[in-house]
Structure 1
Amino acid sequence: MIAFYWSCLAGGAIFALISVLLGDIISNAVDGILDFLSVDILQPMVLATAITTLGGSGILLLKYSSFNNVFVFLVSALIAVLLSVIVFFAYVKPMKNSENSTSFSIQELQGRMGQVTVPIPSHGFGEVLLRVGAGHTNQIAASFDQQDIAENARVVVVEVRDDVLYVSLITI
């Protein structure tokens, strides 16, 4: 039984090492082939935690306790499941939920300041550059006050209608 626990410990450690060193390469090589097996709790980090913990706790319990093999296996499996659940809810799930998105709604641009990149005529359309998150976006704009707005002028988005930003010149 000790050989089983040592192989679980070694296998889990090797799996962790390989996934750190070659994870992206392997992931790109099997791109989507195993997506049908995707279950949130069965993430590679959670499985490696379970296998490694089963092996490590089994070795320690066999060496430092007088319990029989069946009881050692059951306690080791319980410890492995508990630690895996903790890893899933404390690390894997929050990291999955923290993925950044660069998307935005055009309605969110109301009230933002920007810079005119294409001059805006009093009764026509131009273009403004606005900072959104970590990047920038160029959007079609019209003059809210129906006055000409020159290139490089600082403007504020007053209203969003029909996917057009109605901007007003910022005067200091």
Structure 2
Amino acid sequence: MEALYLGCLVGGVLFALVTVVLGDLLSTALDGILDFLSLDILKPTVVASAITVFGGAGILLTRYTELNLVPNLIISIVVAIFIAVLVYFFYVKPMENSENSTGYSIHDLVGKIGEITIPLPAIGYGEVMVKIGATNVLHIASSFEQHEIPVGTRVVIVEEADGVLRVTEFDNTRGDEV
């Protein structure tokens, strides 16, 4: 039985290494063929941790306790399931929720406050800088009301048309900080 535990311990560690190293390559090569098999709780990290802990717990219980085969096996399975659940809820699930994307749609900018970096003529184009997350992005802009807007003026993005942000001056008469 110790050979099974040792095999699970080594196999779990190797599985973890292979999925880390080859996971993206295999996923790309299969092009999502096996996606229907994926259950949220059966992530490779969770499965590898369960197999590894099962093997490790089995080896420790065999060597350092006087338990028989069945209690040893049951305790190893329970410990493996417990650790796998902990790994899922305290590592995998929070990591899925913490993923950030720097991508955005130009349509998401409507309603945002920006600052003119290249002056806008009454008819024509300039440039506006808008803060997205932790970075600033620059976009071509034109005056919504066809008024000149100088550099440094805070503006509100009214609409997007053909990749051009149409802006108007930001009127902050209430004194609110945005």
Cα distance, 1:84 vs structure 2: 0.6
- Structure 1 residue ranges (4+ consecutive) displaced by more than 6 angstroms after TM superposition: none
**Contact residue 139 and residue 165 of structure 1 kept, 8 A:** no
Question: 1:167 aligns to what?
Answer: 169
Cα distance, 1:139 vs structure 2: 4.9
Q: Distance in 2 between matches of 1:100 and 1:60?
A: 40
Question: 1:131 aligns to what?
Answer: 131
**1:156 and 2:154 aligned:** yes
Q: Distance in 2 between matches of 1:148 and 1:116?
A: 13
Question: 1:17 aligns to what?
Answer: 17
Cα distance, 1:76 vs structure 2: 0.6
Q: Give ranges in structure 2 of 5+ residues lacking alignment.
A: 161-165, 172-178
**Contact residue 155 and residue 167 of structure 2 kept, 8 A:** yes
Q: Deviations over 1:43-94 (max 9, x none)?
A: 0000000000000001111111111111111111110011011111111111
Identify if the C-alpha distance between structure 1 residues 135 and 18 changes in structure 2 by more than 3 Å, giving closer, same or farther: farther
Q: Secondary structure at the match of 1:100?
A: coil
The aligned amino acid for 1:95 is M
Q: How many residues align?
A: 162
Q: Distance in 1 between matches of 2:52 and 2:111?
A: 47
Once the two structures are overlaid, the 10-residue window that deviates more, 82-91 or 26-35, is: 26-35
Q: Percent identity?
A: 42
Q: Give ranges in structure 1 of 5+ residues lacking alignment.
A: none
Question: 1:37 aligns to what?
Answer: 37
Q: Distance in 2 between matches of 1:126 and 1:66?
A: 80
**Contact residue 9 and residue 54 of structure 2 kept, 8 A:** yes
Identify if the C-alpha distance between structure 1 residues 12 and 55 changes in structure 2 by more than 3 Å, giving closer, same or farther: same
Aligned residue among 109, 131, 135 for 1:106: 109
**Contact residue 122 and residue 148 of structure 1 kept, 8 A:** yes
Question: 2:49 aligns to what?
Answer: 49
**Contact residue 144 and residue 158 of structure 2 kept, 8 A:** no
The aligned amino acid for 2:152 is R
Cα distance, 1:20 vs structure 2: 2.6
**1:122 and 2:122 aligned:** yes
